[in-house]
Amino acid sequence: MTRNLLAAIRFTVITTILFGLGYPLLVTGLSQWWFPHQANGSLIEKNGQVVGSQLIGQPFSADKYFHSRPSAAGNGYDPTASGGSNLGPTNQVLVTRVAQDVAKWQQEDPSTPIPADLVTASGSGLDPDISPASAEYQLPRVAKARGMSVEQLRSIVAKHTQPREWKVLGEPRVNVLELNLDLDGSTASAAKR
């Protein structure tokens, strides 16, 4: 009995050290070495200050910015409250919210169909990307607010459009924060000229 108890204690101590300390330290060290940007949250800096992450969406409401898709995470884009609303398609709360978002977007352009991702939240509520169709839908508003032509703006959006992963996974997407930061830089450059 004592022998079995000592073997169980030794096994518990060894596996705790190996899998509770050794493995996490090894994986953390390797990720810091091979993928330091991703391992540290894919943070985006502007003028030496962290302004966000490539992986977590942010709300934008000014006309001069492309707007993100809605968020159901906490009060919006709260990484500590990640998750969808879990509301079904017949839930009146969801139907009302989507109808309000559709009405808001229709004020911008009543003749163009609204891309679905502009009125529906992602599963995590933190999606940093919009579809190219959503970016295209917002072009006239952003171009007008920034005093740019739609074609100038379209070329900047194209530069930020990422294809499917390995040409088969996911859908093409545009990172809203990176696009808006580039637009701020482009507008500042154009203003200096």
pLDDT tens-digit profile of 26-54? 999 999 999 998 888 888 888 888 888 88
Say what the pLDDT of residue 32 is: 93
Residue of 161, 163, 156, 78 lying closest to 124 (CA atoms): 78
- HSE of 20, CA atoms in CB hemisphere, 13 A: 7
Say what the pLDDT of residue 75 is: 76
pTM: predicted TM-score of the whole model, two decimal places? 0.78
Residue of 76, 90, 68 lying closest to 175 (CA atoms): 68
Domain range list for the chain: 1-40, 43-192
Q: How confident is the model at residue 134 (pLDDT cuts 50, 70, 90)?
A: very high
The pair of three-digit structure tokens given for residue 36, joined into one six-digit string:
């330091």
